[in-house]
Structure 1
Amino acid sequence: MPVRTPSLEQILQMAGRQGLHLSAEDAAEFRGIMAGTLDAYRLLDELPEPKLPVVAPRTPGWRPSPAENPHNGWYWRTEIATGGPGPLHGKRVAVKDNICVAGVPMMNGSALLEGYVPDVDATVVTRILQAGGTIAGKAACEDLCFSGASHTCVTGPIRNPHKPTHSAGGSSGGSAALVAEGAVEMALGGDQGGSIRTPSSWCGVYGLKPSWGLVPVTGSMPISYSVDHCGPICASVEDVALLLSVIAGHDGWDHRTIPAQVGDYMGALGAGAAGLRVGVLQEGFGHPESDPRVDASVRDAIGALERLGAQVEGVSVPMHRVAPAIWSGIILEGAAEMMLKGHGVGHNVPGYYPVGMQEAFARGFDTRIDDVSDTVKLVLLLGEYLNTHYHNRYHSKAQNLRVPLTQAYDAALQGVDVLVMPTNPFTATEIPPRDAPRALAVDRALNMQANTCPFDVSGHPAFTIPCGTVDGLPVGLMLVGRRYEEATLIRLASAFTTSRDWRNS
């Protein structure tokens, strides 16, 4: 639709909303000036829009039946492949439903995007297809990805394969559940507060949040530019290394990836733990909400690392305990402005904008905002309040505090190669009933992130690996490394996982 010059009434209404006091004569003069300026927008309408490539033929796929979706991990099923060779040949990959796959429905777990079908493939999807992988479908996720549990998805709760009454974790709950149940070997997840690591930990699989900027998020729906990450969730350390090798690196669109340094992830496998210096992060244990049995299980795993030849010592980063407050300051206002008021894509960020997704989201936001989850409503209300009444000062201060927080972890990582701690303070929680009190449902969605969200702020790579169980539910050990040193985390995880020592610890 060609852009039209606003009417006098529209100009006066806009002025009033911004606190401007214009007369009708003022408005008429501005209207005349605007008409010339908007000629550039009419030309913009005529210019062809660049499109991300689509490299494989496909059909739209199908909605999975209950029999093929026992834990509600799928949103949509597909069979997309180039048929060519490559390192991912024979591997089936589930794609989190906030990532575009051309011609395949996408909801991002939310009623706001119902009916949207992308016309582009995200960069990570293209790379998987070019590497010979098969896109087996879209993994269900939380409503606009704003939950660390798995009960806010519009298509219903995603259930933990180890105990279906319990959460799979979120927001990449479908990705982790599908890997855990054996439907796929690999999946893509997103992580802004722990959304790769929490579901991987709670479902007993392997999930790596890469360094900020290592993997492009081009063609994905963001939450907030400064904390958005995309990475692998897999059934083994080897598959994590393999998938990361394929999806990592600058893509020409996502400017965060310009300094990305891709490592030899496959070469790190089997290198052993001997000589690696492991720092046990003191502040990662004993949170008020921690289950002592989870802490004990992780400490047993650390003992196994020491027996494998790692040098283990205690490390303290006092800022770790206040990092969730810094994260809150960044993501609440960031998400409200970029994801919600920014129509799902935001603005003023150098990168690729899926215009069709932006338009679809805007329609949903204008007509169905009442249908979103309470966590999304909370983000919208708090973000608007903090913007309107405090002029984004807390977001700005939190962004400034990002630097000393990052420096604190960097300083700790000068003396050790890896920091270790529990991924989450407790194991998977029960899925709240539909009629649960709002406060309980929101708390269950956000209460597990004390150790995960700090590293979305700092941008350090963080890898969760299974290390035991409590009451039949998996426990995750989280490994954190220096920026772009994912290979070190893979090396240590490989040594731990291939050793039988930890299973008897």
Structure 2
Amino acid sequence: MTSQQKKGQASVEDLREIAKAHGFSMRPQDESGYLSIVLATQESIEYVEKMKDYVDPGLIRDLNVDDRTYIQPSSSENPLNAWSHRTSIKAPSTVDNTGLLVGRTVAIKDNVAVAGIPITCGTQPFHLCKDKPAPIPAIDAPIISRILEAGAVITGTSTCENYCLSAMSFTSATGPVDNPWLRGYSAGGSSSGSAALVAVNLMKNRQRSNGLSVEHLGEGVDLASGGDQGGSIRIPAAYCGVYGLKPTHGLVPYTGIGSLFPVLDHCGPIAASIRDTATFLSVLAGYDGFDPRMTPETPLRAAVPQYHTRLGEQIATRVAAGTWTPQTAAKGLRVGILKEAFEIAGLDASVAAVIRKAAARFTALGASVAEVSVPLHLVAPHIFTAATRAYIADTLLFGYGASTSASLPFPFPGPAAFAPDQAWYDTMTASNPLVVGGIFSSEFLRDRARYPESVRDKAVRKVHELRAAYDEALERFDVLVMPATPTVAPRHADEGMGIGEKAQFVLANTLNTLPFNITGHPGLAMPVGWGRVDDGDEKNKGAKLPVGMQIVSKRWDEETLFLAAAAWEVGGLGLDEE
């Protein structure tokens, strides 16, 4: 029950209702004693609620929100609908030219707290709070401080999908985000705007856009942050022909970012090259002292590998040895082609062919390549759902869990969670019925008479089994490769789709990405070729869209991901092929 709903002093009648719901009744002589316990608890809660709030000083160091302004760009300035708000934020203190991101522009997914800039999580006005259209954070998420300290300029927040619960790009409150390669087609979700904006700059540098002028795309960025709870970095990257990394779970702090469910939450880089992806990860990664997703394996900031430097060193070693060539660049790498990833529902034969051709290039580059089987991969969606769905609505809509971890997180200050009502239901049913379905699923699955907690406990044990299965495969191989998505980017959803059809559509492209959200393995999506658009529309005849390959490595081994991807590109960039 939120603070906007009834409070009132606890009564014996309240306790009787609670007891009845749990299948027991109080004896009359017990009632006053139990009521005194609850009243004492209520007194403490209301006392603390009246106290002045506290913000950790480390989160507001050098922060001057008064210097920050923003606008909502016009449609002419935002032709892809990829921008949520435009701004220009630099570090308040002078940054010398040694910062890793000096001179780079960055877009921030609109589920990250950027002080002074509205945060919408892609949903309609007044859905996140009642007193203003969208909350305006007073402090920056740790990743924002790190980006600014590295010398970057944050030029805006990027459109994301409604409550970040869609792997397609048509659910945002502001309308669909178009794929920059072909208007009317999905940019992927939920980090839709982030991937589209990075692709804009990549396309302008290449001067290519399916034969069209790139000037119609508007302004893009060099780098963007993404969030990934089932593929929301990797799928947009694959559809838009850029690079997107879901890091190892707990490597990049998620503090101050809208959560879907803690075990699923990942923040990571979207960029236009392997090296930029590695550089951006070097800036983002490392322990922040607040995020309960982090573990003893998470490196302290001072110990974060400089992924871009390490990649350069590995390449330099191979250059010196004469092996960084189109015949030997991948020598020594053991590449596993994940068999079950080619057996997922809806896999387009042409996409499968592009990925198999890309995997075969590793052989030509000197790697050891073989097929590997992980049968649990095909049932991972069931494990994912059983382990998480009962509590997603509480986290996503009501903020539950931000202060209940076994460790001590820092819940960002903000308005009380919004209480859904009929208008909310009607809006969300039209925009993204998966969000409403989340409430129904969560409430139904939490009925302990039907599904005791032991059911979810078993599902979590199956997550451990799934992780172990991938770990075993990664003992025999350095990386696993597979299609990132079953198809190239499809058209946006048909407005005539029913609730069930629309809900299925927004998640149908996650079958090869979501398993690694629950197991925590890092996954990199990179462009490796093109697929033809075959939708019967004469005006799109001959048009092509990018095909993305996903590379997965051991947890905490992003270095090998970057090396494998860079070695593959010695044979040519994926978008160079026609």
Is this a same-fold pair by TM over 0.5?
yes
Indicate how the Cα distance of structure 1 residues 446 and 418 shifts in structure 2: closer, same or farther if over 3 A, else same: same
- Structure 2 residue runs without a partner (length 5+): 202-219, 316-328, 533-543
Q: Could you tell me how far 1:369 is from its partner in structure 2? A: 4.5
Q: How far, CA to CA, are the matches of 1:6 and 1:427 in structure 2?
A: 57
Superposed CA deviations along residues 84-129 of structure 1, whole A, max 9, x for unmatched, are 2311111111111111111110110123224211112111111111
* 1:385 pairs with 2:405: no
In structure 1, how many angstroms separate the alpha carbons of the residues matched to 2:433 and 2:487?
23
Q: Which amino acid aligns with 2:298?
A: A
Question: What is the distance in 2 between the residues matched to 1:439 and 1:33?
Answer: 46
Corresponding residue for 2:157? 138
Mapped to 2, the partners of 1:501 and 1:354 lie a distance apart of 41
Give 2:216's aligned residue: none
TM-score norm. by structure 2 comes to 0.82
> Counterparts of 1:387 and 1:411 in 2: how far apart (Å)?
34
2:285 aligned with 1:248, yes or no?
A: yes
1:356-375 aligned at under 5 Å gives the runs: 356-357=414-415, 359=416, 361-363=417-419, 368-372=424-428, 373-375=432-434
Residue identity opposite 1:172 in structure 2? S
> Of the candidates 327, 330, 340, which is equivalent to residue 397 of structure 2?
340
Q: Among 324, 330, 354, which residue is 2:412 paired with?
A: 354
Number of residue-to-residue matches in the alignment? 503
Which residue of 156, 164, 173 corresponds with 1:154? 173
> Which of 292, 298, 307 is residue 265 of structure 1 equivalent to?
307
Q: Choose the corresponding residue for 1:205, options 242, 246, 249.
A: 242
State the Cα deviation string for residues 441-482 of structure 1 (Å, max 9, x = none).
212101011110111111111001000111111111111001
Match of 2:60 in 1: 53
What SS does the corresponding residue of 1:181 show, helix, strand or coil?
helix
How far apart are 1:263 and its partner, in Å?
2.8
- C-alpha distance in structure 1 between counterparts of 2:136 and 2:123, whole Å: 14
Distance (Å, rounded) in 1 between the aligned partners of 2:422 and 2:411: 20
Alpha-carbon distance in 1 for matches of 2:82, 2:196: 6
Tell me by how many angstroms 1:81 deviates.
0.8
Q: Equivalences for 1:281-320 in 2 at 5 Å?
A: 281-320=338-377
Following the alignment from structure 2 to structure 1, what is the Cα–Cα distance between the partners of residues 20 and 75?
53
Q: Distance in 2 between matches of 1:302 and 1:414?
A: 19
* 2:119 partner letter: M
The 5-angstrom pairing of residues 89-488 of structure 1 reads 89-111=102-124, 112-113=127-128, 114-182=133-201, 183-258=220-295, 259-261=297-299, 262-266=304-308, 267-269=310-312, 271=315, 272-343=329-400, 345=402, 347-348=404-405, 350=407, 351-357=409-415, 359=416, 361-363=417-419, 368-372=424-428, 373-388=432-447, 389-471=450-532, 472-488=544-560
Identify which range, 253-262 or 199-208, moves more after superposition: 253-262
CA distance in 1, matches of 2:393, 2:102: 40
Distance 2:277 2:138 in 1: 28
Q: For residue 299 of structure 1, report the CA deviation from its aligned partner.
A: 1.1
- The aligned residue for residue 500 of structure 1 is 572
Note the C-alpha offset of 1:138: 1.2
Whether the 8 Å contact between 2:169 and 2:189 is mirrored in structure 1 is yes
Contact 2:529 2:577 in 1 (8 A): no
5+ long unaligned stretches in structure 1? none
State whether residues 88 and 132 of structure 1, in contact with CA within 8 Å, keep that contact through their aligned partners in structure 2.
yes
Q: TM-score by structure 1 length?
A: 0.93
- Bigger radius of gyration, 1 or 2? 2
- 1:252-280 deviations in Å (ceiling 9; x for gaps): 01133232143331121462422111111
**Local SS of the residue matching 1:238:** helix
Q: Which amino acid aligns with 1:495?
A: A
Structure 1 residues 6-25: aligned runs within 5 Å: 6-22=10-26
Q: How many Å separate the matches in 2 of 1:70 and 1:24? A: 68
Cα RMSD of the aligned pairs, angstroms, is 2.4
8 Å contact from structure 1 (residues 339, 346) kept in 2: no
Amino acid of the structure 2 residue aligned with 1:378: G
